[in-house]
Structure 1
Amino acid sequence: MKTALITGITGQDGSYLAELLLSKGYEVHGIIRRASTFNTGRIDHIYTDLHDAETKLFLHYGDLSDSEQINNIMYNLKPDEVYHLGAQSHVRVSFDTPEYTGNVTGLGTARILEAVRRSNNNVRFYQASSSELFGSSAPPQSETTPFQPRSPYACAKLYAYWMTRNYRDGYNIFASNGILFNHESPRRGGTFVTRKITRAIARIRAKKEEFLYLGNLEARRDWGFSPEYVEAMWRILQQDRADDFVMGTGTSYSVQDFLDESFAYAGLKVEEHVKIDPRYFRPTEVESLIADPTKAKKELNWAPKITFTDLVRIMVDADMRAAGLEPIGEGDAILAEKFPNRWWRGD
């Protein structure tokens, strides 16, 4: 039985990845921060699913700012695979907390890599890199596109990207970067724009609020579906050699497009409920990100099934259900058609 360690296991990607690995027979360990309140909502259902079976999911307290904790966990577990997803991952917030973002998102990766080096050189390491690395570089962006980061978050991720490559080259560690473009789901954090929109739609339909406040509607992103992207992470670590891969759909839509598609699907009018708030603009904006996933399609045999309109319907339906409303239903039908034997639950 393989053993995997996931940082950021309570996040969107971490929770889906845990389910994927469990479905493949892994023993899964996750690092969570000790806090005054539990933040395990995205993985609580896994314990319910495993109640009558042998539990193969284990959580450990740790913090990416504490190298001693990280070293102890790595030394004691000696996992076969490490998926480093933990970070301060909100781009807008990184402008308000640049030092913290650099410490956790950047130096946190160095601490994990050093723990890997000290404990077990045979471990396979995955670094969650980001399309934000490309910043103002002209799209489409591939593995050879120059990096031009435009936020403290992107700068921290750039440090983490190059540390991963340096540990690969310097210490012969199997260390790979997955440069993932935006990927969403019903588990996306509520402060990210896609989930902010779909949650607001449900609350408006439930008559719990009237307006949605947003910032730049012109930014264009390559949006995919998180469960498909965590499968790509796993495939990256199953290769014969470590390498770096861009993951995305190859299509681009603006925030305005996502807004229009979501509201139209829910039968609402954007002009009646959406207001622009300057507080949500970034000091420096990334205008357009579009993946060129040619390498991933060829070498990983990976291609996403969920389209932009599929994603909108899946997320709106899920948030309407969460708000106690009857979902429109197209999102559920899409999942049933494209993932008839899906390995994740709880959405």
Structure 2
Amino acid sequence: MNVLITGAGGMMGSHLAERLLLESAEVIATFHQPTINMQTVDPAVTFEELDVLDHDAVFTLIESRKPQEIYHLAAQSLPTVSWTDPWRTLRVNGEGTVNIFEAILRARKNDPSYNPMTVIACSSAEYGASLVPERVPVREDAPLLPLHPYGVSKVAQDLLGHQYYYNHGLRCIRARIFNCTGPRKRNDVASDFARGLVRALKTGRSLKHGNLETHRAIIDVRDMVDALIALAREGRAGEAYNICADRAYRVSELLEMYFELAGQRVATELDPSLLRFSDEPIIFGDTTKIRTDTSWRPRWDLKQTLADMLEFETRQYAEGTG
């Protein structure tokens, strides 16, 4: 199996690369401006630099290597950044996706039998204003009403997948990814709490937080990776699928879980910079469709996920890289 992962320099992509290597797959793990400490990734993963906005480079890689599975995870993935840099957010997420599909079309001109499966990392942020209590857990047929430029860029990715499948017959899956976390994650509530707690325990400073009243269904990265692979091999081409945990927790409950894991509490402090212009009150997706079409089921308990993250951040702090 010859597999391409764009965005392997991110938390999800790096775990996916490690998982696929266990299958003895040939993994083309590409990165550009990584968001993780790449020294924490299994050395068996061989990274190659690729900017998905460089269409010539994308074309050359896909035409020369012809991956059978493509996991397109490369993105500007932070809603907060999308408010200050909507231009790059829309370019990376939209144009980068176009480059992947156009590269496949070019490769098919020279080899009509080339027919890879592409899994696009879309997002629950596409639902936006549809994520209201009376509609959750939200289904794939809910209106796409994003509340920030990042969400808009993910709608673009999603609909590009539909368009290239409908008009060109390119096999793809639109994976609508809900909150996902695990070791190496940065800039989400679970990783912010883990890092903040470790620093608070070591320095005596308070742990800063944003809105504690929202509800989030947070899935372990290991379950997410299994879902992406299951969709690539068992999902129906052209379809959109939610990937989400089984339960939504109030953000304050996550904080309490961390205190329980640490065996002590620390002082907390509201940081206004962590508050968003608009914030979905609950993010929770219905996973009936992926469970019906594939053999995937989530296996990891959230408390175990947080324990693994706390251990990871403690180790990173001790090594001076936290």
TM-score, with normalisation over the residues of structure 1? Answer: 0.84
Structure 2 gap ranges (5+): 109-113
Query: Which residue in 2 is equivalent to 1:330?
Result: none
- Counterpart code for 2:7: G
Aligned AA for 2:121?
Answer: A
Letter in 1 for 2:181: E
CA-CA distance at 1:285 after TM superposition: 1.5
Question: What is the CA distance between 1:112 and its match in structure 2?
Answer: 1.2
Paired position in structure 2 for 1:66: 54
Q: Give the aligned length.
A: 309
Counterpart selection for 1:290 from 277, 284, 287: 284
**Paired residue secondary structure (2:104):** helix
Question: What is the alpha-carbon distance in structure 1 between the residues aligned to residue 39 and residue 64 of structure 2?
Answer: 23
Say whether the 8 Å CA contact 1:79–1:123 is kept in structure 2: yes
Question: Partners of 1:133 and 1:40 in 2: how far apart?
Answer: 25
The alpha-carbon distance between structure 1 residues 17 and 124, as it changes in their structure 2 partners (threshold 3 A), is: same
Matching residue's letter, 1:169: Y
Q: How does 1:292-331 map to 2 (within 5 A)?
A: 292-324=286-318
- The CA deviation at 1:298 is 2.0
SS where residue 213 of structure 1 aligns? strand
Q: What are the within-5 Å matches in structure 2 for residues 199-210 of structure 1?
A: 199-207=195-203, 210=205
| Mapped partners of 2:122, 2:38: distance in 1 | 22
The one-letter code of the counterpart of 1:82 is I
Alignment partners' CA distance in 2, 1:183 and 1:63: 24
In structure 2, the partner of 1:226 is: 221
Is the Cα–Cα contact under 8 Å of residues 10 and 35 in structure 2 kept in the other structure? no
Paired AA for residue 37 in structure 2 = G
Residue identity opposite 2:229 in structure 1: W
Counterparts of 2:290 and 2:156 in 1: how far apart (Å)? Answer: 23
Deviations 1:117-155 (A, max 9, x none): 221441110100111111121311121122111111110
Displacement of 1:58: 4.0
Mark the CA change 1:216 to 1:83 in structure 2 (over 3 Å): closer, same or farther: same
CA distance in 1, matches of 2:263, 2:46: 43
Q: Is residue 196 of structure 1 aligned with residue 189 of structure 2?
A: no
Q: CA deviation at 1:313?
A: 2.1
Is the CA contact (8 Å cut-off) linking 2:196 and 2:208 kept in structure 1?
Answer: no
1:43 positional shift: 6.1
Aligned to 2:179: 182
Gapped runs of 5+ residues in structure 1? 51-56, 326-347
RMSD after superposition: 2.0
1:128 aligned onto 2:121:
yes
In the TM superposition, 1:1-150 aligns within 5 A as: 2-33=1-32, 41-42=37-38, 45-47=41-43, 50=44, 57-120=45-108, 121-137=114-130, 138=132, 139-150=136-147
**3-state SS in 2 of match to 1:306:** coil
Contact 1:136–1:287 (CA under 8 A) maintained in structure 2: no
Q: Secondary structure at the match of 1:5?
A: strand
Cα shift readout 1:47-83 (whole Å, capped 9, x = no counterpart): 2xx4xxxxxx543322122212111111111111110
- Residue deviations 1:197-232, cap 9 Å, x none? 10111122223x512222222221110100111111
Deviation (angstroms), 1:44 = 5.7
Change (3 A) 1:74 1:295: same
1:265 counterpart = 2:261 = yes
Change (3 A) 1:158 1:115: same
